[in-house]
Structure 1
Amino acid sequence: MRYMLTYDLMETARNTNQWMGASALAMASYPVFSLFPNPALEWMAAWGEVTERTFQRMVVKPDWGIPSVTCEDGKDHLVQVETVLERPFGDLVHFAVLGRKPRPRQVLLVAPMSGHYATLLRSTVTSLLPDCEVYVTDWHNARDIPVSAGKFDVEDYTLYLVDFLRHLGPDTHVIAVCQPAPLALAATAYLAEEDPDAQPRSLTLIGGPIDPDATPTEVTDFGRRVTMGQLERTMIQRVGFKYPGVGRLVYPGLLQLASFMSMNADRHGQAFMDQISRVARGEASDHDAHNRFYDEYLAVMDMTAEFYLSTVERIFKEREIARNVFTVAGRRVDIGKITRVAVKTVEGAKDDISAPGQCVAALDLCTGLPDEKKASHVEPDAGHYGIFAGKGWRNNIRPLVLDFIDANGPNPTKKAANKNAAA
């Protein structure tokens, strides 16, 4: 019961701050005050506007916001988000570009379940749409899933990917971003043994912790220091009475957000002070750089407790993927069984979350895969976000990934996939 009360207390604090911001904005905007201009009232209104927006965004799932895309015919085509498969903990969605013929490249973009919604990959989806048929794993907020739906851990996540790949068929190219990289590798190995005809044609792993110990970071050090008992006591709560998932054990999104922001508290604090100043001077807008970034960054989702704890214990502490001893339903998944799915890894030279070395470790695990089916790339000067959504992705990584896909499609356009020697 105490875990539920703590969850509701956090939601109460968030709601109170949102209300205070709205109240300050409304009070400072009384028409009568315009008779006596006062800079303090302008600052009060600016503080209220920024505060209300900040705390409101924490419980709102962002929209994909991709109304159209310019295709090779030079015309803008409307984009429609379609749900292809519905599951309790996540859906498979397709970005249908209306009025154009289907693209030969079929891509499954595996979004992370690490605190933010799949919309974090909005710019990645937008960049791929002109050239690919794009499918995305759209994970649900655990607070909205009734307890009757059961558990969801790393094994369930892996089996969801297996189901999605079976539905899409063998002409699929998988791109897994960050957290799901080890589980996407495991799902591919699972299919290689259980259902070879459903294997994807290629697997691109971007900034994922395949072997967290290959290059230690602050994230991996934390995973080593803390015990599972400490995590359970300090991070896990029960969903409060307000949501459909009442009683479900989760790692709350608000708690995750506090952890995210504490890592760069000074920078975030300065960013909000600067935004209040811009609003007070009339220089801010609804879609300025600050709001575009923080509308997404602040929108957090709860993770099921079993998924969070099993990720820390099995992926980071026990290194089951790195040691090739990962099991699903009591059966070992042997990554060495991957023999025909081309595998490419992408890392950022300045990535301080999944540092260079952690992701490329996947290639050594693919002992049954010939070297010509392996490739890797390290993007200079790119951090974690930049390797899938920044300038490095747009200008360098995306073209390389598309070349890799073409080299391993049904009608290869290149003789070898290993343009960037990896193994």
Structure 2
Amino acid sequence: MKYMTTYDMMETARNTNAWMGATARAMASYPVFALSMNPLLPLMAAWGEVTERTFDRMIAKPDWGIRSIVGADGTDHLVDVTPVVERPFGNLIQFVVRRRAPMQRRVLLVAPMSGHYATLLRSTVLSLLPDCDVYITDWHNARDIPVSAGKFDIEDYTLYLADFMRELGSDLHVIAVCQPVPLTLAATAYLAAEDPSAQPRSLTLIGGPVDPDAAATEVTDFGRRVTMGQLEHLAIQRVGFKSKGAGRLVYPGLLQLQSFITMNGERHSKAFSEQIMRVARGEASDHDAHNRFYDEYLAVMDMTAEFYLSTVERIFKNREIAKNEFVVAGRKVDFGAITDVAVKIVEGANDDISAPGQCLAALDLLTNLPDSKKAAHLEPGAGHYGIFAGKSWRLNIRPLVLAFIDANSDAPKSAKGNKTPSAQPDQGENVINLASA
């Protein structure tokens, strides 16, 4: 059971810090201490409150929190989160808007499996819901998946995407964000050869590493420096007995979070110091800007070891996608097979995760796709988060993506037809139905 102890030690440290925060908050909040007028007591309580919340959020899957949207008629429409396809390692879910007829635009958002839950794209979903029927990939936390479910690597991930596209039919527009960009492109090329009628009408690829060598970042530099043996030794652990996936080899979310924090350590340290002072002064709230961001940012999930290692080796080191040498289920995926799917590339000029050029390389792989079906946009001043969920997405990129979808929505439907469900009745003030994880 190698590395299981290390996994449990990280969980023990997280649990202990949460307990220390709760203890400090409770002790410093005793009413009798208010008589002392000691300014350190409110600071101690504030530190405890922020610390407890921070470490508790690391093991909590965030709620989608999308209760309703305003429809074109000016009334509120409740939103249900409904599973369409359920699989061991991830579900395909739909945001069903009650009392609304099927929309012409049908969008599949492919969420990253890179340490955070699909809820990282909550604001992206919210921005698309008024104008589209929205589906999304909801990947599961590897620590909650029994070993008996088998393996899950980048080939399995690609086949999941191909199956989800088949399920939804060709009257579909796919938007992939960050990590899944190269694998979404591969899934489309796989369908082009195996089941052409299941291909989507368009792909929008946002800030993903199709060719990591096209532009250097800290991520690509790390991929070059470390060997696969070192990576497996340093990063891979076994899930402890506390979880359903006990014994499964994973890349732990807590380890990934440490990397996230380290990349911008000074900024995060300042953010937490300022939040402690706001709590001490009574200026913070449960859903203030700090808590909204960090409740999502700190919620991390484990990835299967085979998925993480195959991503580093095959996407970053061997560049199988960039070289058009990717193989899925024993079949070589040829990107030249994509001839009818419109493809749009979106990059941020200040993206330090997938630098400009890494995603744009996808267009060079599409050798048989007419130039009229290729498009690219470089957003000035935008970082990685901004191109799919920030100000740049809201003000500039979203309108461009919707226009691209509309420009490529006149293709004939496949033999499978449009699988859009009929309008859903409003069944009262029921709580939102979340897909099981």
Q: Give TM-score scaled by structure 1 length.
A: 0.96
Q: Following the alignment from structure 1 to structure 2, what is the Cα–Cα distance between the partners of residues 286 and 293?
A: 12
Q: Following the alignment from structure 1 to structure 2, what is the Cα–Cα distance between the partners of residues 264 and 109?
A: 27
1:100: Cα distance to partner? 1.1
Q: Following the alignment from structure 1 to structure 2, what is the Cα–Cα distance between the partners of residues 392 and 260?
A: 22
1:266: Cα distance to partner? 1.2
SS in 2 for 1:58: helix
In the other structure, the counterpart of 1:377 is 377
SS in 1 for 2:123: helix
In the other structure, the counterpart of 1:164 is 164
1:411: Cα distance to partner? 6.2
In the other structure, the counterpart of 1:362 is 362
Letter in 2 for 1:150: G
In the other structure, the counterpart of 1:281 is 281
1:72: Cα distance to partner? 1.7
SS in 1 for 2:213: coil
In the other structure, the counterpart of 2:408 is 408
User: Residue by residue, what CA displacement relative to the aligned partner does 1:239-274 show, whole Å, maximum 9, x if unpaired?
Assistant: 001000000000000000001101111111111111
Q: Following the alignment from structure 1 to structure 2, what is the Cα–Cα distance between the partners of residues 327 and 394?
A: 36
In the other structure, the counterpart of 2:327 is 327
Q: Following the alignment from structure 1 to structure 2, what is the Cα–Cα distance between the partners of residues 123 and 115?
A: 18
Q: Which has the higher contact order (CA 8 A, sep 6+)?
A: 2
Is 1:221 aligned with 2:221? yes
SS in 2 for 1:397: helix
In the other structure, the counterpart of 2:420 is none
In the other structure, the counterpart of 2:90 is 90
8 Å CA contact retained: 2:223, 2:316: yes
Q: Following the alignment from structure 2 to structure 1, what is the Cα–Cα distance between the partners of residues 45 and 150?
A: 46
SS in 1 for 2:221: helix
User: Residue by residue, what CA displacement relative to the aligned partner does 1:164-220 show, whole Å, maximum 9, x if unpaired?
Assistant: 000000101000000000000000000000000100000110000001001111110
Counterpart mapping for 1:334-345 below 5 A? 334-345=334-345
In the other structure, the counterpart of 2:120 is 120
Q: Following the alignment from structure 2 to structure 1, what is the Cα–Cα distance between the partners of residues 246 and 31?
A: 43
User: Residue by residue, what CA displacement relative to the aligned partner does 1:247-302 show, whole Å, maximum 9, x if unpaired?
Assistant: 00000000000011011111111111110000000010000110011000000000
In the other structure, the counterpart of 1:420 is none
SS in 2 for 1:74: coil
Letter in 1 for 2:35: L
SS in 2 for 1:115: coil
Letter in 2 for 1:255: L
Is 1:315 aligned with 2:315? yes
8 Å CA contact retained: 1:252, 1:302: yes
Q: Following the alignment from structure 1 to structure 2, what is the Cα–Cα distance between the partners of residues 255 and 382?
A: 27
Counterpart mapping for 1:384-403 below 5 A? 384-403=384-403
Count of aligned positions: 412
Letter in 1 for 2:188: T
1:329: Cα distance to partner? 1.4
Q: Following the alignment from structure 1 to structure 2, what is the Cα–Cα distance between the partners of residues 297 and 117?
A: 9
Q: Following the alignment from structure 2 to structure 1, what is the Cα–Cα distance between the partners of residues 190 and 173?
A: 16
Stretches of structure 1 that go unaligned for 5 or more consecutive residues are: 413-423
Letter in 2 for 1:410: D
Q: Following the alignment from structure 2 to structure 1, what is the Cα–Cα distance between the partners of residues 37 and 56?
A: 29
Aligned identity (percent) is: 78
1:102: Cα distance to partner? 1.2
Q: Cα RMSD (Å) of the superposition?
A: 0.9
Q: Following the alignment from structure 2 to structure 1, what is the Cα–Cα distance between the partners of residues 34 and 358?
A: 59
In the other structure, the counterpart of 2:416 is none
Q: Following the alignment from structure 2 to structure 1, what is the Cα–Cα distance between the partners of residues 4 and 10?
A: 10
Deviation above 2 Å: which 4+ runs of structure 1?
34-37
Q: Following the alignment from structure 2 to structure 1, what is the Cα–Cα distance between the partners of residues 258 and 411?
A: 48
Stretches of structure 2 that go unaligned for 5 or more consecutive residues are: 413-437
Letter in 1 for 2:185: L
In the other structure, the counterpart of 1:16 is 16
Letter in 2 for 1:93: I
